[in-house]
Structure 1
Amino acid sequence: MEIFFTDKEVNEYIEQAKSTYDQIRPDSDFNIIHDPQPCPIINFVDDKKGKWIWRCHIDTENPNPQAWSMISDYLSLYDALVFTKLEYARKTSHDLIYQIPPSIDPFSVKNKDIPEAQARDIVEKFVPIDLPLVTQVSRFDPWKDPLGVIDAYRIVKEKQPIRLVLIGSLAHDDPEGIEWLKKVKDYAKNDPDIIILSNLDGVGDLEVNAFQRVSKVILQKSIKEGFGLTITEGMWKKTPVIGGNVGGIKLQIDDGKNGFLVDNIEESAEKIIYILKNPKKAKEIGEAGHIKIKNEFLLIKHVERYLDLFEILSK
C-alpha cells in the first residue's frame, strides 16, 4: 500500500529535526546521523566545524518515492553517506558513499560463549529438546514471513519429526507486533511442536543465545531485510543458517558454503531437510559461517571500517 505524506506531516518532520538539533547541537569532529527520521538535521547546522555523516540502516532499494525525495534534498549536505549495502544508495549523487554493514559484539550476553550443557538447560526450561529444533528469532512482522516459516515447517514435518521455535520481541505499545503475534498463534493452530516465545515469556538475550546454539537450524526467512543480525548471531555460534535471498542477508551467506539462501517456502523446507539429514555437512557449514562472521562482521571490524572512513574525511 502506497503511503502519502501531507504538507502538514512534512513540515512536522522538518520541525522535529530542527528541534532535535537545537537540543543536542553536537560539537564533535565526526557527527553521525542515523536513518531517515533525523536526516534534515544537517540543514540546521549553523557552524559546521566537524564532518557530518548520514548512516542509513534500512533497505532502501525500493523506497517510498515521496519519502526518498524528501530526504534526498538533504543528502548532498552531508560529507559522507553510509549504507549497509552500496545497492541501497540507489542513484544517489554524492562524492563519498561508503558501505559499512552492522556487526555483533562477541562478548555481549547474546553472543558470548556459553557451555553446551548450560545452553541445553536454558532451552529445556521452555521447550523439550527430544526433537531437532528449527528456530527463527525475529520481530513478529510480515517482512519476516513467520507464516511462511510455519508452512515450511509443515512440509518438513511430513518427512521427519522436528520442533519449530519462533522467538520475537514485543512491547506493550506495539499494537502491530501484538496483532501479528496473534496471527502467528492462530496460524499455528495449537500444534504442540510449534513453540512461540517472546520477551514477555522471559526470553531475553541469554535465552536467545542458548536457543541459537542448541538449534539444528537457524532460519531467517525474510521477504525484505536490511541486514539480518539474527543470521550473524547464528553463524557466529556455528549453527547452520537458512536466510531469505534478499538484502543484507546476501552479504553474509555464501549460498551452499556457509549457509543457504532461499526464495520460497519449498526451498526453505528442502534446505532444512538437507541440513538435518547431513550432520557432517551441517557442521562444515556452521564452521564456515563462524569464520565468515569472525572475519567480516564483528565489532572490531565495524570500528576499523569507520576509522577508515574518518581517515578519508580527514584528508
Structure 2
Amino acid sequence: MSLLPPAIDRSTLGLHSLEHYAPLIGAATAERIERKADRVRMMQVAHISSTFYGGGVTEILTPLTLMMNAMGIETDWHLVQGTPGFFACTKKLHNALQGQELEFSEQEKAIYEEVVFENATRLHLEKCDAVIVHDPQPLPLVRHFAEREMPWLWQCHVDLSSPHPPVWDYLRGFVEPYDAAIFSLPEYGQGLGTDQRFMTPAIDPFSPKNAELSEQEIGETLKYHRIPTDRPLVTQISRFDRWKDPIGVIEARRKARRQVDCTLVLVGNNASDDPEGHVILETIKRSIDDRVIVLAVDDPILVNALQRHSAVVLQKSTREGFGLTVTEAMWKGAAVIGGDVGGIRHQITDGKNGFLVSTVDQAADRMVQLLNDPQLRRRLGARAKESVREKFLMSRLLEDWLDLLVRYERPVCQ
C-alpha cells in the first residue's frame, strides 16, 4: 500500500524516487536510507523560504521536497510574501551576515519584523511535525508561534564565518528560540544557546540542469542562444551578486587573453528576493568587450550545455555559503576554478579536482594553464565528477535530513 496521498503515485514523482539513485550510490546505501525513512514516513514537514525562483535555496528545496514526499513524508513548501522595501531590508541582512559593514536602522527593523508578522498570520502549521525555516528572510517567524509543540529548525545557507557584529547581535535574538540552527559548514557555527547542526548542500543529478546531454543537444542549445564556439569558452554561472565577483572574472579573462584567446560567458538570473541584481547586471554590461557574452536568463538546459562544453568554468566568489554552481559544474566533469572561500574550498582540493584562487592574477594564470592543457582539464574533471558522486548528491542530503528529523521526532501520544 502506498504511503502517499491517493492522488499521488510514486511513478508520478519519477526521477525523485530513491530507487533512481541506486545506480549512482549503490544498493546498500539506498537500502540504508530506506530503513531510516521508515521511522518518519508519516511525518508532516513544512519548509519556509523567500522564493521559488533563483538561488541555491531553491535549487536545494525543489528536489528535496519532492524526494521527501516520494519517501512518504508529507512535505509542504511555503513562501514569505513581502514588499520591495522588505526585500531591500533582507538583502542588507544577507550582506551583513557575509561580513559587509552596514547600518540596519530601527526603521528597517520595523519593516522587517512587521512583514514577517503579517506572514505569520497566514501560516497554519498546527498539524506539522517539524518546521524548517531558511535564511534570514523568514527568521523571526518563530516568535509568533510561542505555543508551538513541534520542533522549529533554522537553516542558514550563507557564509556566516565573520558576520557584521551589530547585525548578528540583532538576528541571534531570533535564532535562539529555535530548537536547532543548521549551517552548511562547521566554520559557520556561532556561540548560540541552541543546538547547532551542520549539513552540506547537494544537487539533483537528474534535473534538466544536470542530466546528461548529447553533443547534438549541446550544440543546438549554444547555437540557439547565439554563443560562438569558434574559440574556447570560459563560463561563470551565478546570480548577479557582488559576492560572486563578476567584475573580477571579466578582468581575469582580459589578462588571460594576452596569452590565449577565449570567449567569456556570464550567465545569471535575478532572484525575486534580490533587489540588487539589476544594478550589478548593469555594472557588468558597462565592463565588457566584444568577446564577453552576458545573458540574464533562467534556462537550465543552457546552463547544462555551457558547463559541459566550456573549457573552463569559474566561480570566483569572494564569499560563498557553499557554491552549488561549483558542484553542478564538477558533476559534469568540468575543469573548475573557484574562489578560495567558504564552501568552495570544501569541494575543490586545489590541484586535484580543480583549482582554488584568491586574486584576479591567480584566476588568469589558472585560466591560461587550463586552456593550454586539455589533458589536465580531463584529469581534473574526472576527479571532480567522482567527488560529487561520493559527497554531494541529493540522496546524501535526504539522509542527513532523515537523521535530523529522527533526532527531533516528537513522542507519539498513547
TM-score normalised by L of structure 1: 0.92
Q: Among 377, 380, 394, which residue is 1:299 paired with?
A: 394
Matched, 1:262 2:262: no
- Show the counterpart of 1:81: 181
- Show the counterpart of 1:290: 385
Q: Among 119, 133, 136, which residue is 1:36 paired with?
A: 136
C-alpha separation in 2, matches of 1:187 and 1:290: 33
Matched, 1:101 2:196: no
Q: 1:272-305 CA deviation, whole Å, 9 max, x = no partner?
A: 1222222222111111111111121111111111
C-alpha separation in 2, matches of 1:174 and 1:91: 28
Matched, 1:194 2:292: yes
Secondary structure of the residue aligned to 2:154 is strand
Alpha carbons 2:129, 2:409 under 8 Å: kept:
no
- Show the counterpart of 1:124: 223
C-alpha separation in 1, matches of 2:302 and 2:353: 24
TM-score normalised by L of structure 2: 0.71
Q: 1:237-259 CA deviation, whole Å, 9 max, x = no partner?
A: 11111100111111211111111
Alpha carbons 2:210, 2:304 under 8 Å: kept:
yes
Q: Among 269, 276, 301, which residue is 1:176 paired with?
A: 276
- Show the counterpart of 2:347: 252
Q: Among 102, 106, 114, which residue is 1:3 paired with?
A: 102
Matched, 1:160 2:260: yes
How far did 1:175 drift? 6.2
C-alpha separation in 1, matches of 2:146 and 2:273: 37
Alpha carbons 1:86, 1:97 under 8 Å: kept:
no
Matched, 1:92 2:187: no
Q: Which amino acid aligns with 2:401?
A: Y
- Stretch deviating more after TM superposition (235-244 or 10-19): 10-19
C-alpha separation in 2, matches of 1:140 and 1:17: 26
Q: Among 45, 67, 70, which residue is 2:167 paired with?
A: 67
- Show the counterpart of 1:308: 403
How far did 1:112 drift? 1.0
Q: Among 230, 234, 251, which residue is 1:134 paired with?
A: 234
- Show the counterpart of 2:301: 206
Question: Using a 3 Å threshold, how does the CA distance of structure 1 residues 172 and 252 change in structure 2: closer, same or farther?
Answer: closer
How far did 1:169 drift? 1.2
Secondary structure of the residue aligned to 1:187 is coil
5+ residue gaps, structure 1: none
Secondary structure of the residue aligned to 1:314 is coil
- Show the counterpart of 2:10: none
The residue correspondences of 1:41-52 to structure 2 (distance < 5 A) are 41-52=141-152
Q: How many residues end up aligned between the 2 structures?
A: 309
5+ residue gaps, structure 2: 1-99
C-alpha separation in 2, matches of 1:174 and 1:83: 21
- Stretch deviating more after TM superposition (75-84 or 171-180): 171-180
Question: Using a 3 Å threshold, how does the CA distance of structure 1 residues 86 and 172 change in structure 2: closer, same or farther?
Answer: closer
Q: 1:35-68 CA deviation, whole Å, 9 max, x = no partner?
A: 1122122122133221110111111222232321
Alpha carbons 1:123, 1:214 under 8 Å: kept:
no
